[in-house]
Amino acid sequence: MSEKRVVLGGGCFWCTEAIYLNVKGVIGVVSGYAGGNRPNPNYQMICTGVSGYAEIIDIKYDEEIITLSELLDIFFAVHNPTTLNAQGGDRGTQYRSVIYYASDLEHEVINDAIQRNQKNFDEPIVTEVSALPEVVYPAEDYHQNYYALNSEQGYCQAVIAPKLQKFMMSFPQKL
């Protein structure tokens, strides 16, 4: 096994976590916060929109089963990377589209993925691409595995379930 890591933000972390937990080759997903300027953020802090943090998922994956490039193609298919600081009804900098890289090679793979996926959108991709911060903070326990534990909740049914269904229909080979 060749374990790697990528940190992505594509709006609400409940949505992206639910998708990536179903991807073949993903070892684990932790919802969290990255990119801010204050230590030890919590959900209330990041919801103000002034902390600088984005809701992210910290993904560990087996590179022998799925590549970073494939993970990024899924990322661009399951959220709207052309809306600045918003995904659907979720608004604010904490919901921005962001990819964090840990090396020059990852940065290159990310830029290639953006160019490759741009053809799927009429508007320009505005995903932030930034160096991985020294610290990525896990979100509170009640945010972890949220969809699986709360799938009957309204937000889960209205927002997450359709995204999960789109992923499953678009990437059946990755299940």
CB of 21 closer than 8 Å to CB of 151: no
CB of 95 closer than 8 Å to CB of 15: no
Let me know if 12 is a catalytic residue. yes
**Residue 163: strand, helix, or coil:** helix
Measured between alpha carbons, how far is 138 from 136 in angstroms, rounded to an integer?
7
CB of 23 closer than 8 Å to CB of 68: no
Measured between alpha carbons, how far is 74 from 170 in angstroms, rounded to an integer?
9
- Find all residues with CB under 8 Å of 63, minimum gap 6, and list them: 2, 3, 4, 25
CA proximity to 41, closest of 146, 142, 140: 140
Q: Which of 12, 15, 47, 156 is catalytic?
A: 12
Tell how strand 97-101 and strand 128-131 pair up: parallel
Tell me which DSSP letter residue 84 carries: T
Residues identified as active-site = 12
